[in-house]
Amino acid sequence: HKSKAYFSTWLNMQYIKWKRGKIEITTSFHQINSLKEFDPEFAGPSDWAQFYRSAGLQVVPAKAPSEGTAWKRPALSSWREFENELASDDVFTLWWGPKGQHSQRTNMGLITGKASGNVFVVDVDSQRHDEARDWLASVRYDAGVSQFDTPTQQTGGGGLQLLFRAPEGWVPPTCKTPI
């Protein structure tokens, strides 16, 4: 059994905005140090939820695939009340605390926008659409980077989700396309 390591890291979050047809990118470094011990290899769901919260992200319990067709939705009867600010410590403990209602729930979601410090997600279905892969390559080219230095994850379907933080006062557009 590997002993827990003291874990302090920097979360790189790029600010991105389009200005006059050009992409402007700056990088922000948010130090996550509120967790005294965190070992990503041995962390449970509650540990991960606390890790994300310490980065200022609004993490909520989400339904699992076994819970029906709406499995990518929050496992809460109401979640809109959490769109504008982080859930209170009492609510977070109710969800993710040692005896929390969702402390062992491995599926969790992120409420983007104001509650998560203006974080937004670019979801690219590059595995299904060559146009999406080409679009992402052109955005990187226009930005002068080969890869974005921002949290990125591969989706269960093989696409990419890139997290960015919008500058204060700038609201990222919602744009759903078939690619």
Q: What is the pTM of this model?
A: 0.74
Task: Please write the tens of the pLDDT for every residue from 107-151.
Answer: 888 888 888 888 888 888 888 888 888 988 988 888 888 888 888
Amino acid at 136: L
| Strand-pair partners of 179 | none
Mean of the per-residue pLDDT values of the chain:
77
Task: Please write the tens of the pLDDT for every residue from 20-30.
Answer: 555 555 555 44
Backbone angles phi, psi at 22, to 5 degrees: -115, 155
Nearest to 83 by CA among 58, 102, 63, 107: 58
Task: Please write the tens of the pLDDT for every residue from 34-93.
Answer: 445 667 788 889 988 988 898 888 999 998 888 887 777 889 988 889 988 999 999 999
